[in-house]
């Protein structure tokens, strides 16, 4: 494309004559001049592909450089990234066919060996990652690790350079495999990292500014509490990004409206940037911005560590004593819905017969009094994500209500990275965080959360069996029945409360073309985004 300012210095007359002849002249910026800024309201815990956690902001920020095998689009369909397709005939062995054109930025093809190499790193005790666990793969120990020095995993077989199979220890639904391993394992280049000692990989300098990537952008510079700067991968195998410079800026929710209004912010995606609810109508009214209501799947989840809050009556009191309708209508301004437990109405496995527990402060007070008489601790510490200003207000409101009901709640507001640390270490009693459960695959998150390894430390054999059975079935009604049973136990035992399901607002500047923010799929076509001038 033409750089107008430079071109005009020597060829102005030629340009004018061509413009007259053609009847038009494009003043679009050259790629080298184009930049766009994404605003997020959570700090970015890491950009290291082997330190991935459960936060969407980390996944999206990292996968701009290192692609996953597949991704969910906004229609909730799994679409290929590095993989052309993933298939299975028995829900045990999954065939991964890599895209024939997939290549690293240095021109080296992305191969099956890279996929095996990456899974070996995740399973390596020398690496010692604490993120995604791959224990479900045949040949990996139940602790998630192989033997030290392992160079193969028996459950992963390379068929050819672009085809491999992965076999799991038990039946696993295709959608679960794709969501768990397809979306969250970001593939790494064996030809670059293969000679680095595994015990050095988590801290190796290469990951501070990776020189070889598979995605549309290189990571150029970052301060994880404030920003990430990217530059386009000119050799991106799907075509170089039209926007040369991409930035993620970490801001507070209160800064988003003014940033959109001034043009300093080009995009806010619903699960990584939290626009203040009181600003929704102001954002919708901006003439230079298009607002997008996100699919209502973001669950404002309250997780209770049942080991640290062992009395079920205290947990039940929390469910009865939180006035969720008032919070939804007054603080969330009606932008969402109320459900019990995990599944939202957008899930194909949602069953409305579960019902919703009504606000009953008298019942909550009675349960607290009973538990206290039996020696239960009626002081709770509640960790809240400081980046979610709406729920910070909600938590203060909840604590004030419970003070009248006999339960002393201490609210601790912490940034998202700290919240993940204390949750993963089992140090929470109660925590709240926005959690986006993929509606097509509740299993991946629910099975982990309702386990001794998950944040709730909850164990129930009937629930575990129902969830396992959901992976072996193909009939939607039968799968729905297993999730209903799970939600019924959650409703009764209360290791988790859904405060509300949020239909969050996203937004783009009208100068940003081809970008549509939604809960899923926003960044699949980031290389096709453009700037209108």
Model pLDDT for residues 150-188, shown as the tens digit of each residue? 999 999 999 999 999 999 999 999 999 999 999 999 999
* CATH class, 298-502 region: alpha beta
H-helix segments, 123-220: 174-177, 183-184, 190-193
State residue 16 phi and psi, 5-degree precision: -65, -40
pLDDT tens, residue by residue, 64-122 = 999 999 999 988 899 999 999 999 999 999 999 999 999 999 999 999 999 999 999 99
Please state, in angstroms and rounded to a whole number, the distance separating the CA atoms of residues 486 and 463: 5
Q: Which helix (H) or strand (E) holds 500?
A: strand 496-502
Please state, in angstroms and rounded to a whole number, the distance separating the CA atoms of residues 99 and 108: 13
Spatial CA neighbour of 435 closest among 271, 204, 228, 236: 271
Please state, in angstroms and rounded to a whole number, the distance separating the CA atoms of residues 230 and 215: 11
Task: Assess contact for 49 and 213: CB atoms under 8 A.
Answer: no
pLDDT at 469 over 50: yes
Task: Assess contact for 485 and 265: CB atoms under 8 A.
Answer: no
Q: Band of the pLDDT at 28, cuts 50, 70, 90?
A: low
Please state, in angstroms and rounded to a whole number, the distance separating the CA atoms of residues 48 and 3: 36
Neighbouring C-alpha atoms within 13 Å toward the C-beta of 164: 25
Query: What is the dihedral sign for C-alpha 128, 102, 104, 32?
Result: negative
Task: Assess contact for 501 and 291: CB atoms under 8 A.
Answer: no
Please state, in angstroms and rounded to a whole number, the distance separating the CA atoms of residues 231 and 241: 9
Q: What separation, in Å, do the N-terminal and C-terminal C-alpha atoms of the chain show?
A: 13
Per DSSP bridges, beta strands 163-167 and 217-223 are unpaired
Task: Assess contact for 81 and 71: CB atoms under 8 A.
Answer: yes
**Weakest-pLDDT range from 227-231, 233-237, 338-342, 470-474:** 470-474
Mean pLDDT of 375-396: 94
Establish whether domains 216-290+505-531 and 298-502 are of one fold: no
DSSP string across 18-67: HHHHHS----PPPGGG-EEEEEESS------GGG--S-HHHHHHHHTTS-
Q: Band of the pLDDT at 26, cuts 50, 70, 90?
A: very low
Task: Assess contact for 343 and 442: CB atoms under 8 A.
Answer: yes
DSSP string across 243-279: -SEEEEEE--GGGHHHHHHHTS--EE-TTT----GGG
pLDDT tens, residue by residue, 222-276 = 999 999 999 999 999 999 999 999 999 999 999 999 999 999 999 999 989 989 9
Specify the pLDDT at position 183: 94
Specify the pLDDT at position 29: 60
Neighbouring C-alpha atoms within 13 Å toward the C-beta of 175: 20
Please state, in angstroms and rounded to a whole number, the distance separating the CA atoms of residues 146 and 135: 9
Residue 260, burial from CB neighbour count under 10 angstroms (0-12, 13-18, 19+): buried
Q: Which fold has domain 66-206?
A: Dipeptide-binding Protein; domain 1 (3.90.76)
Spatial CA neighbour of 431 closest among 450, 455, 449: 455
pLDDT at 444 over 90: no
pLDDT tens, residue by residue, 288-303 = 999 999 878 889 999 9
Structure tokens, 275? 């626009």
Q: How far is CA 452 from CA 73, 281, 366, in A?
A: 32, 43, 30
User: Strand order in 430-436's β-sheet?
Assistant: 336-337, 496-502, 298-304, 430-436, 379-385, 408-414
Q: How far is CA 232 from CA 2, 80, 215, 363, 439, in A?
A: 18, 21, 9, 58, 32
Task: Assess contact for 417 and 434: CB atoms under 8 A.
Answer: no
Backbone conformation region of residue 333, classed left if phi is above 0, alpha if psi is from -120 to 50, else beta: left
To which residue do tokens 């210095």 refer? 9
Spatial CA neighbour of 348 closest among 104, 75, 21, 127: 75
User: Residue 301 forms beta bridges with which residues?
Assistant: 433, 498
pLDDT at 364 over 90: yes
Per DSSP bridges, beta strands 245-250 and 227-232 are antiparallel
State residue 253 phi and psi, 5-degree precision: -60, -35
Please state, in angstroms and rounded to a whole number, the distance separating the CA atoms of residues 446 and 3: 52
Give percent of the chain above pLDDT 70: 94
Task: Assess contact for 467 and 487: CB atoms under 8 A.
Answer: no
Structure tokens, 229? 């700067």
Please state, in angstroms and rounded to a whole number, the distance separating the CA atoms of residues 458 and 293: 34
Task: Assess contact for 71 and 78: CB atoms under 8 A.
Answer: yes
pLDDT at 1 over 70: no
Highest mean pLDDT among 1-5, 112-116, 390-394, 475-479 belongs to 112-116
Q: Where is pLDDT greater, at 131 or 21?
A: 131
CA angle 497, 76, 173 (to 5 degrees): 80
Q: Which helix (H) or strand (E) holds 448?
A: helix 442-449
Q: What is the CATH code of the structural domain delimited by 216-290+505-531?
A: 3.40.190.10
Specify the pLDDT at position 21: 35
Q: Where exactly are the structural domains of the chain?
A: 4-31, 66-206, 216-290+505-531, 298-502
User: Residue 302 forms beta bridges with which residues?
Assistant: 432, 497
Specify the pLDDT at position 55: 82
CA angle 86, 131, 485 (to 5 degrees): 70
What number of other Cβ atoms are within 10 A of residue 523's Cβ? Answer: 22
pLDDT tens, residue by residue, 395-442 = 999 999 999 999 999 999 999 889 999 999 999 999 999 998 889 999
């Amino acid at each position: 494309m033409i750089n107008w300012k430079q071109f005009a210095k020597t060829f102005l007359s030629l340009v004018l004559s061509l413009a007259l002849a053609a009847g038009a002249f494009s003043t679009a910026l050259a790629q080298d001049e184009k930049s766009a800024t994404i605003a997020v309201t959570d700090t970015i815990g890491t950009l290291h592909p082997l330190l991935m956690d459960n936060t969407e902001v980390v996944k999206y920020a990292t996968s701009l450089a290192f692609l996953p095998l597949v991704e969910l689009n906004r229609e909730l369909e799994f679409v290929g990234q590095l993989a052309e397709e993933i298939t299975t005939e028995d829900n045990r062995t999954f065939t991964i066919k890599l895209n024939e054109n997939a290549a690293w930025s240095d021109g080296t093809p992305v191969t099956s060996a890279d996929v095996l190499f990456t899974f070996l790193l995740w399973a390596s005790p020398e690496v010692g990652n604490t993120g995604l666990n791959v224990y479900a793969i045949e040949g990996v120990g139940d602790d998630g690790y192989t033997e030290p020095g392992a160079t193969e995993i028996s459950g992963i077989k390379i068929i050819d350079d672009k085809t491999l199979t992965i076999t799991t220890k038990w039946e696993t639904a295709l959608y679960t495999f794709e969501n768990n391993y397809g979306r969250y394992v970001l593939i790494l280049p064996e030809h670059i990292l293969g000679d680095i000692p595994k015990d050095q990989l988590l801290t190796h300098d290469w990951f501070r500014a990776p020189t070889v990537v598979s995605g549309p952008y290189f990571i150029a510079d970052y301060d994880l509490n404030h920003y990430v700067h990217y530059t386009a991968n000119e050799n991106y195998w799907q075509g170089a990004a039209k926007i040369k410079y991409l930035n993620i800026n970490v801001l507070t929710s209160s800064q988003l409206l003014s940033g959109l209004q001034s043009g300093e912010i080009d995009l806010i995606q619903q699960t990584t940037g939290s626009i203040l609810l009181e600003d929704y109508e102001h954002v919708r009214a901006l003439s230079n911005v298009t607002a997008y209501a996100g699919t209502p799947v973001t669950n404002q989840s309250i997780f209770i560590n049942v080991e640290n809050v062992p009395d079920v009556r205290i947990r039940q009191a929390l469910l009865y004593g939180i006035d969720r309708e008032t919070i939804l209508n007054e603080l969330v301004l009606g932008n969402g819905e109320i459900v019990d437990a995990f599944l939202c109405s957008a899930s194909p496995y949602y069953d409305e017969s579960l019902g919703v527990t009504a606000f009953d402060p008298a019942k909550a007070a009675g349960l607290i009094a009973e538990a206290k008489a039996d020696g239960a601790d009626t002081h709770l510490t509640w960790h809240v994500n400081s980046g979610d200003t709406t729920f910070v207000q909600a938590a203060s409101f909840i604590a004030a209500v419970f003070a009248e009901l006999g339960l002393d709640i201490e609210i601790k507001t912490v940034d998202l990275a700290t919240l993940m640390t204390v949750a993963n270490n089992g140090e929470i009693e109660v925590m709240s965080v926005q959690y986006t459960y993929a509606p097509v695959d509740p299993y991946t998150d629910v099975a982990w959360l309702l386990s001794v390894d998950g944040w709730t430390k909850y164990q129930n054999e009937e629930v575990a069996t129902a969830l396992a059975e959901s992976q072996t079935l193909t009939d939607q009604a039968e799968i729905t029945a297993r999730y209903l049973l799970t939600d019924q136990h959650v409703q009764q035992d209360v290791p988790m409360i859904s405060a509300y399901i949020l239909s969050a607002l996203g937004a783009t500047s009208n100068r940003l073309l081809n970008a549509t923010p939604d809960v899923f799929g926003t960044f699949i076509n980031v290389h096709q985004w453009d700037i209108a001038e």
